[in-house]
Structure 1
Amino acid sequence: MKTPSFARLLAPVSLAVALMAATPAHAQQKLQIAGNFAVEHPSSVAVEQVFKKEVARLSNNQLVVDVFPAMQLGGAKENVDAVRSGTLAITWVGAAFLSRIAPELEAVSLPFIFANRDAAFRVIDGPVGDAIDKKLQDKGFIALGWMELGMRHITNSRAPVQNIADLKGMKLRLQPNETHLATFRALGANPVAMDAKEVYSALEQHVVDAQENPYTVISASRYGEVQKHLSNSGHFFDFIAVVASKKAFEQLKPEQQKLIREAMTTTIAHQRKLAITTEASALAGLKGKMTYTEVSPAVKEEMRKVAMAAVLDGVKKRAGAELVDQVLAEVAKR
């Protein structure tokens, strides 16, 4: 996998500048949105095929969206930092990359708490999501909604993972989320936080033994080329946060802000449906390339108990006990 050229970061006109510049009444304004997901990932497809067109339609072509997927404007951390500083307008990014700025996101990162996507979206689309959105705004972001990243599973180059013992000493790449890292420390692995742009080469060069991601990311990122084993651990359900720069967004006219929100709502609804179908096809493709191992429900329950015992108190301290308890109460309603 090729590492993206960071020369793309030196775009001639930044998004925020383009949005804030005074322009004639009928002049077009540029809107740049960047992400680290591969072009064929359902989130990138939805942004390109739906968001871009909806913004053009709703603005009568007065707002023009330039889409930069696949780390064309840097990795996840660079995109988040650029949005926070106001030099990039919008990014779609794995929620974990916002958790160190807004630790409240760890409340929805607990291991094995979401049985399925419906349970996860019931929580993030309700009062819990509203509370997280407010925290993000305090940190310089405008939350535009939550796409599906999906249930995360382990791939590795050592051996099939069927139980906790198989994780012992495994050098496992994770996102920079303290709950994720603490979970796998508790399970006996050796977790390493790493940006998405570094993962393929780290696996190829055996800097790390393993990584974990949803099937769609494993497939689109071609990790099956450098990993032999896939296990359906389903240890976290993950979200993609779509966030705008508060600095740039507040310079827009109210009607422009409204149409961007409306366009992204349509985009997210499309992406969530697309994620369901692409997950199934991604798994089918991976089974043809990798050794696939089912992790039994009993083993997953054992993993959940070990992990939750280790991480729950820490998450409550970082994210707030009230919010964590609210998440657990919502999950219990299923």
Structure 2
Amino acid sequence: MKHQILALAASVLALTAPAQADTIRVAGNFATDHSSSVAMETFAAKLADLSGGAFEVNLFPARQLGGAAENVQAVKLGAVEIIWVGTAYLTRTVPELEIVGLPFQFESREEAFKVVDGPVGEALDEKLAAQDIMSLGYMELGFRQMTNSVRPIETIEDIAGLKIRLQPNETHLATFRALGANPLAMDVNELYSALEQKVIDGQENPFSIIQVAGYPEVQDYVSNTGHFFDFISVVANKKWFDGLSAEKQAWVTEAMDAAVAEQRVLAAEQDGAALAKIIEMGMTYTEVSPELAAALRETTAGVAAETKARLDPKLVALLDAEMSSVSN
């Protein structure tokens, strides 16, 4: 009888004990005060609210779990469930992502998001899914601007010969080769020290990244070249996501949608204020003249054609149709 009572008590405790929360590890390489990291805090809070505590979200921003390339490998292997990373770092897994990173492709952030939120984005998400990566949305990284420690950029000739760090995106690298620079792919984890030690001359990033990463401490000149508009991909390990119940998938998706929407607003605000802060930090700002802007476009025009030629023709046709639609 005593054993039966103990067994009954154990059963009651098991039924009344709170269910163990599912742990979600979320890794990123952006600084804690960057808009994307702030938005991930929103994701964690929103998911906790929607799920009633069924999920425990552990956030690891600011390269706590390694650089961008390491984070991509971690999510592919399932070592973490979700990452947020510059889309360029996924192009070696899904080269088709290069199609939204062509030089001087978008005239505004609104135009860029109409493309990735529409059929082109859906097609890219399918390409990611085929590699066991689940797309959860696209945040804004923004228009990329050029900095260096050698000279102000006033003509294309000023770019020639500069050793410039870029993300590991073949289209981006080809663009700077066309401009006469010596580009090299380097993980963001190594960038600050490479600039500080003068291993490289410069880099390119949105104003907000340049500011929060402290690059004005190791760079002298900045220009509003705006040569690419870049996205942050929020992706999950697909096997993990597929293993969730439909209800839990809906919670994760709704919480991330809220985070992405918030981040896009914050990113625009941060980018607008960052240039003034960069100048306050001591950088010399050189405005790109209309003549230089035209020369940059003309010199890099062939890069987009070369990229399109090696990608899925159906995807290229879809992009061209979307670009024609959003620009009208």
Does structure 1 conserve the Cα–Cα contact (< 8 Å) formed by 2:207 and 2:274? Answer: yes
| Counterpart pick for 1:271 among 248, 263, 268 | 263
What number of residue pairs does the alignment pair up?
A: 309
Q: CA deviation at 1:25?
A: 7.2
Aligned to 2:21: 28
Question: What does 1:179-190 correspond to in 2, within 5 Å?
Answer: 179-190=171-182
Q: CA deviation at 1:101?
A: 0.6
Does structure 2 conserve the Cα–Cα contact (< 8 Å) formed by 1:103 and 1:318? Answer: no
Query: Equivalents in 1 of 2:321, 2:286: separation in Å?
Result: 32
Aligned to 1:214: 206
Regions of 4+ moved over 6 Å:
none
| Counterpart pick for 1:120 among 112, 135, 147 | 112
Task: Name the % identity.
Answer: 51
CA RMSD of aligned residues (A): 1.2
Matched, 1:97 2:97: no
Question: What does 1:1-334 correspond to in 2, within 5 Å?
Answer: 26-48=19-41, 50-288=42-280, 289-309=282-302, 311-333=303-325, 334=327
Does structure 2 conserve the Cα–Cα contact (< 8 Å) formed by 1:186 and 1:307? Answer: yes
Q: Cα deviation per residue 1:164-214 (whole Å; 9 max; x = unaligned)? A: 111101000000000000000001000010000000000000110000000
Does structure 1 conserve the Cα–Cα contact (< 8 Å) formed by 2:103 and 2:304? Answer: no
TM-score (norm 1): 0.90
Q: Which amino acid aligns with 1:294?
A: E
Aligned to 1:5: none
**1:154 aligns to what SS in structure 2?**
strand
Does structure 2 conserve the Cα–Cα contact (< 8 Å) formed by 1:143 and 1:241? Answer: yes
Structure 2: which 5+ runs fail to align? 1-16
Does structure 2 conserve the Cα–Cα contact (< 8 Å) formed by 1:104 and 1:318? Answer: no
Query: Equivalents in 1 of 2:221, 2:248: separation in Å?
Result: 47
**2:310 aligns to what SS in structure 1?**
helix
Aligned to 1:21: none
TM-score (norm 2): 0.92
**1:162 aligns to what SS in structure 2?**
coil
Query: Equivalents in 2 of 1:102, 1:25: separation in Å?
Result: 41
Q: Cα deviation per residue 1:284-330 (whole Å; 9 max; x = unaligned)? A: 10122200011123322221122121x23431233323323432332
Q: Which amino acid aligns with 1:290?
A: M
Query: Equivalents in 2 of 1:237, 1:163: separation in Å?
Result: 21
Bigger Rg over Cα: 2
Aligned to 2:7: none
Q: Which amino acid aligns with 1:304?
A: R
Query: Equivalents in 2 of 1:128, 1:298: separation in Å?
Result: 32
